[in-house]
């Protein structure tokens, strides 16, 4: 991304009226832009911020390039860092193979060590692949062991043309049992980590916004700005058919008002008819559009993870309700 595009992006976004401004820096690998790029990010945010604005920055990285300079910057600039770590060495290295043969797990562990050294808040972003099936407890314990208190588990759902499941893709049943095992070790942990999915389920039960797009009934959630300024509604749907415009030539309101954006958002609630009869639809809302895979591109296809979500919710919702009721009662007592 050029400095001109970056400057325009920050300026136009901060001109909008928001309760909070959130920048999420992703790639590829966003650290390849270099440290000076992100120093410019901060300088532009300071230049264009409204008085009293709350601005947050998050960055998602594989951690390979993090050194003391990066970690110090993240600490000083209060970046929330998401580090990709898929579990113990044998699991992490299974599909994360560095081109030069370097042990990617060692690079990640060094990055986490530096983040701890500089008191940087970080989340563990764990891709749950076919290799992770049956290993939820092992992965959870490992993440806790490296000092991670915030976990995000992301199902690996990748299909080739013709709806052929790729070898690293986890299937619905595996995903469901993984989540059940994860819940079991989490619920019995006296010092529980924050698991984004579990937190969101509790928020739904409390009648609040879940905070993750897959659980929403609309996919009008955020904008993706590509390096050349092109704008899209979702990082899984960066396609010619979903191009909303360009940050260099369009105003922010143009993206909100775009028919393409609105139509894309509506598709989230056009789920399979069976979803209307499902007791768990309030939690998954038909799941992410990316997971509604069909050989004939049916708009109302079920998520390939549907069976797994049902296994998980059937087993755990009663316990989640107890947690929600406890939190509700505690809040009422404090009023």
* Percentage helix, strand, coil for the chain under 3-state DSSP, each rounded to 5: 50, 15, 40
Measured CA to CA, the distance from residue 133 to residue 196 in angstroms comes to 19
Residues present in the chain in total: 335
- pLDDT tens for each residue of 127-162: 999 999 999 999 999 999 999 999 999 999 998 877
Measured CA to CA, the distance from residue 60 to residue 30 in angstroms comes to 7
Q: What is the pLDDT of residue 181?
A: 98
User: What is the pLDDT of the chain when averaged over all its residues?
Assistant: 94
Q: Cβ(46)–Cβ(77) under 8 Å? A: no
101 burial via Cβ count (<10 Å: 0-12, 13-18, 19+): exposed
- pLDDT tens for each residue of 24-42: 999 989 999 999 999 999 9
User: Is 298 or 110 the better-scoring residue by pLDDT?
Assistant: 110
Q: How confident is the model at residue 203 (pLDDT cuts 50, 70, 90)?
A: very high
- Tell me the pTM: 0.93
Q: What is the pLDDT of residue 101?
A: 86
Reply yes or no on whether the pLDDT at 323 is more than 90: yes
Q: What is the pLDDT of residue 90?
A: 95
Q: What is the pLDDT of residue 300?
A: 77
Segment holding 176, helix H or strand E:
helix 172-187
**Location of structure tokens 């609105």:** 262
Reply yes or no on whether the pLDDT at 332 is more than 70: no
Q: What is the pLDDT of residue 330?
A: 83
Average pLDDT estimate for 218-242:
96
Measured CA to CA, the distance from residue 284 to residue 100 in angstroms comes to 40
Give which of 39, 309, 10 is closest to 175, Cα–Cα. 309
- Positions marked catalytic: 235
Instruction: Map residue 108 onto helix, strand or coil.
Output: helix
Q: What is the pLDDT of residue 333?
A: 61
**Location of structure tokens 């911020």:** 49
Q: Cβ(5)–Cβ(227) under 8 Å? A: yes
Q: How confident is the model at residue 6 (pLDDT cuts 50, 70, 90)?
A: very high
Maximal CA-CA distance, the chain? 59
Average pLDDT estimate for 251-277:
94
Q: What is the pLDDT of residue 73?
A: 98
Lookup: tokens for 156: 């690996």
Lowest mean pLDDT among 151-155, 242-246, 291-295: 291-295
Bond prior to 130 in cis (omega within 30° of 0):
no
Measured CA to CA, the distance from residue 112 to residue 147 in angstroms comes to 9
Instruction: Map residue 79 onto helix, strand or coil.
Output: strand
Lowest mean pLDDT among 10-14, 239-243, 293-297, 308-312: 293-297
Work out the angle at residue 122's Cα, subtended by the Cα atoms of residues 223 and 185, and round it to the nearest 5 degrees: 105
Average pLDDT estimate for 207-216:
92
Q: What is the pLDDT of residue 211?
A: 87
DSSP 8-class letter at 171: P
Give the HSE-up count for residue 267: Cα atoms under 13 Å, Cβ half-sphere. Answer: 22
Residue 39 backbone phi and psi in degrees, to 5: -65, -35
Q: What is the pLDDT of residue 299?
A: 62
Reply yes or no on whether the pLDDT at 298 is more than 60: no
């Amino acid at each position: 991304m050029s400095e001109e595009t970056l400057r325009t992006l920050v300026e136009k976004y901060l001109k909008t009226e928001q309760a909070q401004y959130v920048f999420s820096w992703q790639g590829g690998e966003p650290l390849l832009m270099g440290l000076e790029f992100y120093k410019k990010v901060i300088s532009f945010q300071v230049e264009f911020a409204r008085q009293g604005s709350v601005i947050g920055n998050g960055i998602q990285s594989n951690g390979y390039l993090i050194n003391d300079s990066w970690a110090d910057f993240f600490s000083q600039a209060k970046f929330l860092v998401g580090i990709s770590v898929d579990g113990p060495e044998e699991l992490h290295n299974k599909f994360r193979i560095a081109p030069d043969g370097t042990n990617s797990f060692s690079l990640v562990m060094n990055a986490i060590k530096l983040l701890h050294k500089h008191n940087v808040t970080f989340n563990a972003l764990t891709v749950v692949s076919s290799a992770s099936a049956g290993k939820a407890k092992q992965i959870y314990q490992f993440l806790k062991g490296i000092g991670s208190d915030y976990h995000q588990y992301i199902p690996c759902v990748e299909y080739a043309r013709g709806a052929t499941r790729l070898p690293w893709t986890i299937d619905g049943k595996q995903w469901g049992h993984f989540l059940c095992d994860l819940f079991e070790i989490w619920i019995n942990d006296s010092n529980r980590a924050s698991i984004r999915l579990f937190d969101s389920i509790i928020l739904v039960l409390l009648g609040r916004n879940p905070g993750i797009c897959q659980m929403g009934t609309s996919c009008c959630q955020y904008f993706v700005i590509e390096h050349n300024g092109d704008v899209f509604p979702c990082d899984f749907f960066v396609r010619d058919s979903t191009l909303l415009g360009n940050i260099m030539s369009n105003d922010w309101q143009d993206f909100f008002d775009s028919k393409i954006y609105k139509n894309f958002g509506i598709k989230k609630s056009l789920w399979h008819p069976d979803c209307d009869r499902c007791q768990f639809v309030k939690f998954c809302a038909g799941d992410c559009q990316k997971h509604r895979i069909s050989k004939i591109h049916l708009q109302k296809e079920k998520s390939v993870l549907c069976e797994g979500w049902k296994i998980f919710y059937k087993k755990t919702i009663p316990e989640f309700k107890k947690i929600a009721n406890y939190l509700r009662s505690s809040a009422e007592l404090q009023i």
